[in-house]
Structure 1
Amino acid sequence: MKALRVKNVYFVESPLQLMSALEAVTFFKDETIIYYKLSSAQSKSDFQMIDIIKKSGLNCFSEMNNRSRSIWHISCLKLLIMFLLFAKSERVFIGDFRNFWFNILAGSIRSKEVVLLDDGASTIYLQYKFFSKGKGFRTFIRNKKAKGIKRNVNYIFSLMFNDKVPNLFSFFNFDGWLFDKQIDYCKVRKTLKKGERVRGVYFLGSKLSEAKILNFNQELKFILFTKNYMEALYPEHVYVYVPHRSDSEEKLIKIHEEGIRIKKIDVPIEIYFDSAECLPSIVCGFYTTALYTLNSGYCFESVISFDVSKNIACNKNIDSIRAVYSYYKSNGILVVPIKDF
């Protein structure tokens, strides 16, 4: 079976992780298999992943069955048995380090190293909070916020894993934050693209209310705050809202009712910018990873991140969110605090 004799094995479940995996395939140039997980319900993320797979022209993909929770667990168990008995590779790449099954499957393959692919804001948080301190998945599980029985279950599960720090294949700059002997397979940086610019501000949307990080009304107020801020700072530029793939139709209707222009993009923003003839002069957003990826690849008049962290202090993701804002500040992105509402 192909899965048992390739040099590199990948596990991904989002467009960003998949794009990172394809860059790693080009970088390492070894025989590869990419296991990808779609959501149980067809989503925009799924369509983007399928489109990326089709356009890649590669024949190295294997879908992990996720039609229901029980089928997902059964398919992972089958892979686990196969890997434990036969699998061996040079490297195993994980897209979502927080995915329990991805770590079990990666650990069941006899390999020389485990490599973490890009996974947006969580990559920054994991590197700062755990990897830079010599801690891996075992510590991560034990630090998950849980009470009572669930906390004890997490501790028992943690015993199944070692605490080895994974290497990285990331576009983020972690100079000074790597653990001893941790490798960062730095991608070749793209030459900054200048191209033609229009007088526009692209606000890159985030699924903050959909993910229950903010409530619906809060997020709308914050979006209006960014619009007013940018229009006061750049009166000759047109403010345009670029939705996240998970933005609800209800949110987009409300944004439109506020007189905000909306530009829907059906591919990952990085792919769109690569092929676009004209680009905006300014990009901004809350803490979306796209602010960093676009800032690394293109020349903009300004890149601004609006800080909402003071308004979500009780959220379970607050440590991760604060780590992202801190990282952005140290890497040349202007961070503007949003006033309390």
Structure 2
Amino acid sequence: MERALFLIDTPSHVINVREALKSYSLTEYDLMINDCNRADTFIQLKAMIGTLTPPSKIVEVAKVEGGLNERIHAYAQHLPFLLSRQYSHVFISSTRQHWQRDIVCSLNISKIVLLDDGNATIPFYEYFFSKGIFFDFPDDPDIQRRSKAAEIRNYYNISIVEPTKIELFTYFDLKPLPWLSIKRNSLTSLQKDHKKIDDSLVYIIGVGAVTVKYTSQADYLDLLNRTRALMPDKTFCYIPHRIESQELIDDIEKIGFLVNRLNMPIENWIYQLDVAPCTVLSYYSTALFTCATMFKSIRTISIQPDMSTWLGAKSSHVWNLKSCNNYQLVETIYKYLNADKSIESILI
């Protein structure tokens, strides 16, 4: 009997788990979840798991604030159990998470499948998947710390030897490579043709750009005002990214936007609506791609300011990547947004 393991750590990953179970005809599976992200990600993740066909086992890794030993132990302690389960498939959802790299490389499974981690799949494909690299972690400049990490991993029999082949289960239009097969994720489980549309309502989806220092708060508020001016007869409801601060949200309300902070992915929220907004727009959110596929009766628009708007991305912290900076990530996402015929693009 085939049994799969899914390694996930954000609520949006649950959408891809549901699609993969159907597409790969899997009925028995385990989940391994990790409280390793900021804001209320883990709370939302656990709530979203309740929407799935129940897994056989859920392995939960609690948040750890300690040193290297404590943080590696938090997930490595589960390796003997995971090895005993004899999985036929292992699905990973983020190549920027050390814990996922360590688990998948240590299980030595022949069928490894990478799920989309939002629109990060696009620049990853361009910058390092295309070169046969699946994990792009920079070397730790602290030699002593790097040696200690290797020692701890050796103690737990953790391998970090990359697989030679991976399958990508993706909703993006990407070409297969000798080391990267492609299976299309059609996002069928949440597709809906809304019969009732509120022609006065526009959703604008936040991208967390102020929090990650791609732009300033003042400039972002100005961008929102310029965006709203494109459709002066519409009511705009701002859907914050989960990492956006209450201070920013308060300021967005002060300039006249409705605000709805969701406790679930935007796709799930729109799916359950009886009356949908006429338009969903954002600057470079993953939701532009997913909503355009799922909700054909809703207009989906990428609003594209000059790239100088995101100039801070050139110097902002790059998390667990060495092949490109954050500015290049955004630039690549815009390229694919412009190529997607189901998404409109408006320069501003």
* Cα distance, 1:162–1:108 mapped onto 2, change above 3 Å: same
Secondary structure in 2 aligned to 1:74? helix
Partner of residue 18, structure 2: 22
Partner of residue 323, structure 2: none
Structure 2 segments unaligned to the other structure (5+ residues): 154-158, 319-325
> Which amino acid letter does the alignment assign opposite residue 13 of structure 1?
D
2:286 aligned with 1:289, yes or no? yes
Is the Cα contact below 8 Å between 2:164 and 2:179 reproduced in 1? no
Structure of higher RCO (CA pairs closer than 8 Å, 6+ residues apart): 2
Is the Cα contact below 8 Å between 2:90 and 2:104 reproduced in 1? yes
Structure 1 segments unaligned to the other structure (5+ residues): none
Q: Could you tell me the percent identity over the aligned residues? A: 19
Partner of residue 263, structure 2: 266
Count of residues paired in the alignment: 322
Which residue among 301, 318, 321 is the counterpart of 2:330? 321
Secondary structure in 2 aligned to 1:184? strand
Secondary structure in 1 aligned to 2:222? helix
CA drift of 1:51 comes to: 1.4
Instruction: Please give the alpha-carbon distance, in whole angstroms, between the structure 1 residues aligned to 2:32 and 2:223.
Output: 41
Secondary structure in 2 aligned to 1:201? strand
Instruction: Please give the alpha-carbon distance, in whole angstroms, between the structure 1 residues aligned to 2:165 and 2:347.
Output: 33
2:158 aligned with 1:162, yes or no? no
Instruction: Please give the alpha-carbon distance, in whole angstroms, between the structure 2 residues aligned to 1:228 and 1:40.
Output: 32
Is the Cα contact below 8 Å between 2:105 and 2:160 reproduced in 1? no
Partner of residue 10, structure 1: 6
Matches within 5 A, 1:157-236: 160-162=160-162, 164-174=164-174, 177-180=175-178, 182-188=180-186, 190=188, 193-198=193-198, 199-214=200-215, 218-231=216-229, 233-236=230-233
Describe the superposition over 1:50-71 as per-residue Cα deviations: whole angstroms up to 9, x where unpaired.
2112232514342432232444
Secondary structure in 2 aligned to 1:173? coil
Describe the superposition over 1:187-226 as per-residue Cα deviations: whole angstroms up to 9, x where unpaired.
3454662432212221101222222333xxx244334323
Instruction: Please give the alpha-carbon distance, in whole angstroms, between the structure 2 residues aligned to 1:172 and 1:165.
Output: 19
* Greater share of residues in helix: 1
Instruction: Please give the alpha-carbon distance, in whole angstroms, between the structure 1 residues aligned to 2:48 and 2:88.
Output: 25
Describe the superposition over 1:172-193 as per-residue Cα deviations: whole angstroms up to 9, x where unpaired.
221xx32126322213454662
Over the aligned positions, Cα root-mean-square deviation in angstroms equals: 3.1
Taking structure 1 as the reference length, what is the TM-score of the superposition? 0.83
> Which amino acid letter does the alignment assign opposite residue 303 of structure 1?
I
Partner of residue 116, structure 1: 114
Is the Cα contact below 8 Å between 1:87 and 1:109 reproduced in 2? no
Secondary structure in 1 aligned to 2:109? strand
2:56 aligned with 1:60, yes or no? yes
Secondary structure in 1 aligned to 2:162? coil
Partner of residue 339, structure 2: 330
Describe the superposition over 1:47-93 as per-residue Cα deviations: whole angstroms up to 9, x where unpaired.
22121122325143424322324444213222234556x45322111
Is the Cα contact below 8 Å between 2:288 and 2:300 reproduced in 1? no
2:256 aligned with 1:247, yes or no? no
Instruction: Please give the alpha-carbon distance, in whole angstroms, between the structure 1 residues aligned to 2:111 and 2:119.
Output: 23
Partner of residue 301, structure 1: 299
2:275 aligned with 1:278, yes or no? yes
Matches within 5 A, 1:9-158: 9-28=5-24, 29-39=26-36, 43-70=39-66, 71-83=70-82, 86=84, 88-137=86-135, 140-141=136-137, 144=138, 149=143
Instruction: Please give the alpha-carbon distance, in whole angstroms, between the structure 2 residues aligned to 1:77 and 1:50.
Output: 21
* Cα distance, 1:94–1:189 mapped onto 2, change above 3 Å: closer
Describe the superposition over 1:79-137 as per-residue Cα deviations: whole angstroms up to 9, x where unpaired.
234556x4532211111111112111111113222111121121111112122333222
Is the Cα contact below 8 Å between 1:121 and 1:321 reproduced in 2? no
Secondary structure in 1 aligned to 2:212? coil
Secondary structure in 1 aligned to 2:242? coil
> Which amino acid letter does the alignment assign opposite residue 65 of structure 1?
V
